Amino acid sequence: MDYTWSWDVVFSSLPVLAQGAWMTIRLTCIAVGLGILIGTFLGMGRVSSVKIIFALSSSYVHFIRGTPLLVQLFFIYYALPIVLGRHVPPFAAAIVAMSLNSAAYVAEIVRAGIQSIDRGQMEAARSLGMTYQQAMLYIIIPQTFKRIVPPLGNEFIAMLKDSSLVSTIALEELVRKGQIIYGRTYKSFEVWTAVALFFLLMTLPITALVNYTERRMKAGD
């Protein structure tokens, strides 16, 4: 059967898909930003000598990494309102679920980064009179972030693609916009090709930026 490609559908869909792409970028930036903030403390907890802090941090990381993001999203959007007695808006549910999920993965990245730093640096900082917290803040963490830029970039890209899951709660990001356009036009090939290209156009600059940052940091060593 012959198939006729419809450029009209592609061009007419671009403004709508661009709106969805902007929503995807917003979600990802907020979620990963909060994920880095929370995950840094969790990562420090994962190397803490205080047993209760280590246990709580580890339990959180294992639970989140061991359950799908989609289930976490459904729990926050559908199950949590039953307990709270009020509706959770889709945008808020998406941000909470994505942030908490990202935090667990960032925590493992930070933990690995901290453990890659020579233990002698902590001992030297303590011998100079620094507390453990001061040594972590001023000596270990700055070096850690220098080493974990590439995996953090990969986490951003992974979360950007995983943000497509929020289409299941009717939040109109890029994939949801594609579903709406397809429902109106029934041109699946054109619509999903355009959606895929939008994702590609969003991830390629981020990949290039991460590679550039990594090279600059290596040059500064």
This prediction has a pTM of 0.90
When divided into structural domains, the chain yields a total of 1
The conformation of residue 165, written as its DSSP 8-state character, comes to G
What domain range is 133 assigned to?
7-219
Is 159 a domain residue?
Answer: yes
Residue 205 CB neighbour total at 10 angstroms: 9
User: Cα(98)–Cα(165) distance, rounded to whole angstroms?
Assistant: 10
Sign of CA dihedral 20, 25, 28, 29: negative
pLDDT at 26 over 90: yes
Q: What is the dihedral of CA 62, 67, 68, 71, to 10 degrees?
A: -130
Structure tokens at 114: 């901290």
Is 2 a domain residue?
Answer: no
User: How far apart, in Å, are the Cα atoms of 176 and each of 9, 16, 94, 147?
Assistant: 16, 10, 13, 36
Contact present, 64 and 101 (Cβ < 8 Å): yes
pLDDT (tens digit, 9 = 90+) per residue, 81-111?
A: 999 899 999 999 999 999 999 999 999 999 9
User: Cα(60)–Cα(143) distance, rounded to whole angstroms?
Assistant: 25
In CATH, what number is assigned to the domain containing residue 129? Answer: 1.10.3720.10
Reading phi first (left if > 0) and then psi (alpha if -120 to 50, else beta), residue 33 is in alpha
User: How far apart, in Å, are the Cα atoms of 205 and each of 9, 20, 66, 157, 194?
Assistant: 26, 18, 30, 10, 18
Is 1 a domain residue?
Answer: no
Looking up tokens 């990963």, which residue turns up?
32
Contact present, 210 and 158 (Cβ < 8 Å): no
User: Cα(35)–Cα(155) distance, rounded to whole angstroms?
Assistant: 10
pLDDT at 218 over 80: no
User: Cα(139)–Cα(148) distance, rounded to whole angstroms?
Assistant: 15
pLDDT at 1: 58
* Share above pLDDT 70 across residues of the chain, in percent, rounded to a whole number: 98
pLDDT at 79 over 80: yes
pLDDT (tens digit, 9 = 90+) per residue, 113-142?
A: 999 888 888 888 888 888 888 888 888 888
Is 28 a domain residue?
Answer: yes
Is 116 a domain residue?
Answer: yes
Structure tokens at 3: 């198939």
pLDDT at 221: 59
